[in-house]
Structure 1
Amino acid sequence: MALSESAQRWRSLNDWLSQHQSFWRPAPFAEPDPAWRRECPALADWLEGLSESAVDRLQEDPAGLAAELSAFTPGLAAWPDVVRVPDWFDAIQAEQATLPETLAVDMPGRKRIQAGAFAAAAAPLAGTLLDWCCGKGHLARTLVRQGNTAALGFEWQSSLVEDGNRLADRYQDPVDIHRQDVMAADLTLPEVDHAVALHACGDLHRQLITRAVAEAVPRLTFSPCCYHLTRQSQYQPFSSVARQCAETLRVDRPLLRLAVRETVTAPVRERTQGQRISVWRLGFDALQRHLRGRDEYRPVPSHPSRLNHGDFKDFCQWAAGKSGLEMPAEVDWPHWYRRGLERQRQVRRHELLRHLFRRPLELWLVLDYAVFLEEHGYRVRLGQFCERSLTPRNLMLDALRVP
């Protein structure tokens, strides 16, 4: 049987990622000297010689970065074609579909605009909707105003269920939210015409795909998020095409996190604080390697917020305690802080290369979902429902069951 366009694209993407996996598998934070530095010394010299302003510019221009890097690794010239998907965003239609601020009580502004863009891209709507992991039902309330539709919602947290139903009653929206553990083994779906989900995380959106297929839901529209939030230590492909491909990539949970490591929506203050903590962690990593006499990364758990107001020494003493590392009485703290700064400079440049593979890896995952749905009788579209500046997780799958 001939492969569908989605299946062909998945295979091509799987091959491209496999060809370049030496660049994206090593985590720069943990591996100061990945194999690609020795295999491609000219690339390493160019990358590590970039100025801070050049790094800033290339972070916002992955296509330009791919073009620059293709001088050293020609296969990266294909990056724009690898990541290209249809753009469904229409600013006028999205604005018309967005819930007015006067009705968007308890709804963050960015989420309100995302829901409007999602609703516009999903149009036209008909029949009864199921809003999966709906929170307070903001997406459902947005969608039911776009046509002759009503919506059910599934949400686990009782407080959100109560607040969502209160809002629906207040504004007379035909939305009814039920408390439901969507991961329950005995879950059955109500009879609906269309299941939707905006940024359902990891196993939550995978459960939606599985249940919708099992119960032949006529239409499924969702935007996946947080692929790494899974009980599986390694990604288990959905489609038979991926499962039967001998060269299918093996992607574990930490690598799944790569697909969502973007900060385009983070406030400047958060990014600045994150960079400061990064220097501390890298400085401590260099120190612990020295004290243990082993060039080996050891993870440190998330730190308490009180340490944000301390200094490098405070952080290292806390991290040493968490790592079971005995700290000597005398430590040259300025030296190890400088080592942290040096490592952060290197990590930032190595991540520039690695992060070029974020979107291709995300598409590898989403195309696997698309092929699985096609294998089970759905006609599937894949596109971007909003601009990346609104949310980097802007991919949408729209699957219509073929009679």
Structure 2
Amino acid sequence: MTLPPAASLHDPAESVYNRWQQLNQWLSAHQALWRPAPFTNPQPDWTVQYRDLAGDIEGLSDSACEYFDDHPDQLAERLSGFLPSLGERQSLVTLPAMTDQQETVAASTLPETRATDMPGRKRLQAGAFTAAVQPLAHPVLDWCCGKGHLARTLAAQCPAPVTGLEWDDALVMDGNRLARHFNDDVTLRRQDVMAPDLTVSESIHGVALHACGDLHRRLIHKASEHGAARLSFSPCCYHLTTTADYQPMSDRVKECSDVLALNRSELRLAVQETVTAPARVRAETVRISGWRLGFDGLQRVLRGVDDYLPVPSHPARLAGEDFEAFCRWAAEKRGVALPAGIDFHHWQRFGERRLSQVRRHDLVRHLFRRPLELWMVLDYVLYLEERGYGVRVGTFCDRQLTPRNILVDAVRACGSPPVRRNHP
């Protein structure tokens, strides 16, 4: 099988480990900017340490905020005038496109007439992923395949059969029904991919489009342990893990004396982007966020404790009610007594003002989403290289289609034996 040339991370002479080290050092040097969460901390220390930068951010209009949140490279360039090291961000996160041939992408995307039950955005994502991993030569194993949208897209371009693994019986039944209807060479099987006795064949090409957290890490472990011929995956939701902190995979990363320690909340930062959310969802998120901040201000006064008080996810019905109803629900959940005579309008306005401040402070924190994501992805790449795989890494689509657009494509070197180790 002849693959496209290995995609350079940035400089042809630069090793993956050197890039990871640069990211690790840069993220470590800027921890004060991304570790504090403005939502829970009204005045992060960096706003005092970098007063001019904070003043510039806080003075942005709403439209400028929206623009810079969607264009972090331009924001980093602007803020580098106050903190020059932020200007290094773009070179650290730049990745090559895995395919720039729109004809290939179009030809690899299922036509709408064959994309039954497949949301439009998912159809395009699956097509772009398929285009980026061609040519296909091995039997494909679609990990956590859902209803088999990616499996069916790959099958149209693959000379070998495609198998999908999915734990949800209903999705397996629906997916197999669709495959039979369209005569696709696809078979979905019910399988818990976290089962300890799961094995994979050395001959397969394991794929995963947006498998979350421990699920994609399990694929990396299992595929490399059993010497899978090829592995192509786009990771997502790094924070969905059973461990409290990120557990490095690569031996070299584990041995690094100054490796970052990331908790689950900081892992979540890497995927906090809403470029694909509908306007209605964005508007509801803004409204509820303001309510949460309004209640936060109120509870600090009532309790006499100047600390954030976490509130659980709200029931859907509250989205159609008002701020007072939200406060009464939140107070009951957290055991906060609400005295008579509360000026709920005042605290709602307080929350709206806080949200405006949070939105601006979060712009700075959001500059570190992609660097944190790439820091983890390069750990995966190093792990696979250590186990005898040649690895390409790049983007398979534009971030407007999905911000989780990183693709890792690993091919086991000829004659390289599988590395059998015990993994969770």
TM-score normalized by structure 1?
0.98
Match of 2:96 in 1: 86
Match of 2:180 in 1: 169
Please give the alpha-carbon distance, in whole angstroms, between the structure 2 residues aligned to 1:127 and 1:38.
57
Match of 1:47 in 2: 57
1:281 and 2:296 matched: no
Q: Which runs of 4+ in 1 moved over 4 A?
A: none
After TM superposition, the structure 1 = structure 2 runs for residues 83-232 of structure 1, keeping only pairs within 5 Å, are: 83-89=93-99, 90-232=101-243
After TM superposition, the structure 1 = structure 2 runs for residues 300-319 of structure 1, keeping only pairs within 5 Å, are: 300-319=311-330
Please give the alpha-carbon distance, in whole angstroms, between the structure 2 residues aligned to 1:168 and 1:235.
38
Q: Give the 3-state SS of the residue equivalent to 1:198 in structure 2.
A: strand
Is contact 1:129–1:192 with CA below 8 Å preserved after alignment? no
Please give the alpha-carbon distance, in whole angstroms, between the structure 1 residues aligned to 2:285 and 2:148.
32
Q: Give the 3-state SS of the residue equivalent to 2:156 in structure 1.
A: helix
Between stretches 203-212 and 303-312, larger displacement belongs to 303-312
- Counterpart of 1:9 (choices 19, 38, 41) is 19
Match of 1:259 in 2: 270
Is contact 1:130–1:192 with CA below 8 Å preserved after alignment? no
Please give the alpha-carbon distance, in whole angstroms, between the structure 2 residues aligned to 1:83 and 1:191.
33
Match of 1:357 in 2: 368
Between stretches 363-372 and 88-97, larger displacement belongs to 88-97
Match of 1:375 in 2: 386
Please give the alpha-carbon distance, in whole angstroms, between the structure 2 residues aligned to 1:389 and 1:351.
20
Residues 358-389 of structure 1: CA deviation (Å, up to 9, x unaligned): 00000001000000000110010000001111
Match of 2:403 in 1: 392
- Counterpart of 2:79 (choices 69, 77, 99) is 69
Query: What residue ranges of structure 1 are gaps of 5+ in the alignment?
Result: none
Q: Give the 3-state SS of the residue equivalent to 1:127 in structure 2.
A: coil
Please give the alpha-carbon distance, in whole angstroms, between the structure 1 residues aligned to 2:88 and 2:202.
44
Please give the alpha-carbon distance, in whole angstroms, between the structure 2 residues aligned to 1:88 and 1:389.
16
The one-letter amino acid of 2:229's match is P
Q: Give the 3-state SS of the residue equivalent to 2:409 in structure 1.
A: strand
* Structure 1 residue 191: Cα displacement: 4.8
- Counterpart of 1:320 (choices 317, 323, 331) is 331
Aligned sequence identity (%): 56
Is contact 2:202–2:229 with CA below 8 Å preserved after alignment? no
Match of 2:66 in 1: 56
The one-letter amino acid of 1:13's match is L
Q: Give the 3-state SS of the residue equivalent to 1:199 in structure 2.
A: strand
Match of 2:28 in 1: 18
Please give the alpha-carbon distance, in whole angstroms, between the structure 2 residues aligned to 1:79 and 1:309.
41
* Structure 1 residue 60: Cα displacement: 2.0
Residues 212-234 of structure 1: CA deviation (Å, up to 9, x unaligned): 11100010000001111111110
Q: Give the 3-state SS of the residue equivalent to 1:31 in structure 2.
A: coil
Is contact 1:133–1:200 with CA below 8 Å preserved after alignment? yes
* Structure 1 residue 146: Cα displacement: 0.9
Is contact 2:205–2:232 with CA below 8 Å preserved after alignment? yes
Please give the alpha-carbon distance, in whole angstroms, between the structure 2 residues aligned to 1:134 and 1:183.
14
Match of 1:249 in 2: 260
Please give the alpha-carbon distance, in whole angstroms, between the structure 1 residues aligned to 2:397 and 2:195.
32
Query: How many correspondences in the alignment?
Result: 401
Query: What residue ranges of structure 2 are gaps of 5+ in the alignment?
Result: 1-12, 415-424
TM-score normalized by structure 2?
0.93
Please give the alpha-carbon distance, in whole angstroms, between the structure 2 residues aligned to 1:74 and 1:30.
27
Please give the alpha-carbon distance, in whole angstroms, between the structure 2 residues aligned to 1:226 and 1:197.
13
Q: Give the 3-state SS of the residue equivalent to 1:102 in structure 2.
A: helix
* Structure 1 residue 193: Cα displacement: 2.5
